[in-house]
């Protein structure tokens, strides 16, 4: 290089890392979503099915559970929201870890009335569940499943 001339910055080198991150981030999100989807597909959600008391099931933050605001994260752990007093879609006072194996100890059908549209109603079954070390809690049928048996 001639004396007194500055080298031109290498545009490609400056933005190579950023370009790579822009390409890899969507791939990461797709892989993460695929992992969560596979888990949902290995369980069928109980929804409003009758199930024998004492049967085991698995808590799952399924798409319907997430869309109904019945699960979320605390720090980095996914949790299912529950209520100790009875079936509820708000004012939760208990959490269970996503993927926890539970025992069904009760079930109750509830009619949800939407506050924005009182004419809109939906039937959903809630299940009372227990895990070792936790007291009982009521969980929406959107958030509890059993393995799919071929």
Q: Are 128 and 111 within 8 A, CB to CB?
A: no
- pLDDT score for 80: 95
Helix (H, G, I), strand (E, B) or coil at 45: strand
Helix, strand or coil for residue 118?
strand
Q: What is the pLDDT of residue 108?
A: 93
pLDDT tens column, 47-62: 767 788 899 999 999 9
pLDDT above 70 coverage of the chain, percent? 67
Domain ranges, ordered by start, for the chain? 42-147
**Residue 115 DSSP one-character state:** T
Alpha carbons 98 and 28: distance in angstroms, whole number: 21
Distances in Å between the Cα of 78 and the Cα atoms of 14, 30, 70, 93, 118 are 37, 18, 11, 16, 31
Band (pLDDT 50/70/90 cuts) for residue 5 is low
Kindly tell me if the per-residue pLDDT of 7 is higher than 70: no
113 compared with 6, residue with greater pLDDT:
113
pLDDT higher at 90 or 32:
90
Write down the mean pLDDT value for the chain: 76
């Amino acid at each position: 290089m001639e004396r007194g001339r500055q080298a031109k910055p290498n545009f490609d080198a400056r933005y190579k890392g950023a370009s790579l991150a822009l390409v890899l981030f969507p791939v990461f999100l797709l892989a993460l979503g695929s992992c969560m989807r596979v888990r949902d597909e290995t369980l069928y959600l109980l929804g409003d099915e009758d199930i024998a008391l004492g049967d085991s099931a698995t808590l799952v933050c399924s798409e319907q559970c997430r869309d109904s605001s019945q699960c979320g994260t605390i720090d980095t752990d996914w949790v299912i929201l529950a209520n100790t007093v009875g079936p509820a879609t708000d004012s939760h006072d208990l959490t269970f870890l996503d993927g926890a194996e539970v025992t069904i100890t009760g079930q109750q059908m509830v009619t949800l009335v939407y506050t924005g549209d009182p004419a809109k109603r939906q039937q959903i079954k809630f299940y009372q569940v227990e895990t070792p070390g936790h007291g009982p809690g009521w969980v929406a049928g959107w958030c509890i499943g059993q393995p799919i048996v071929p």
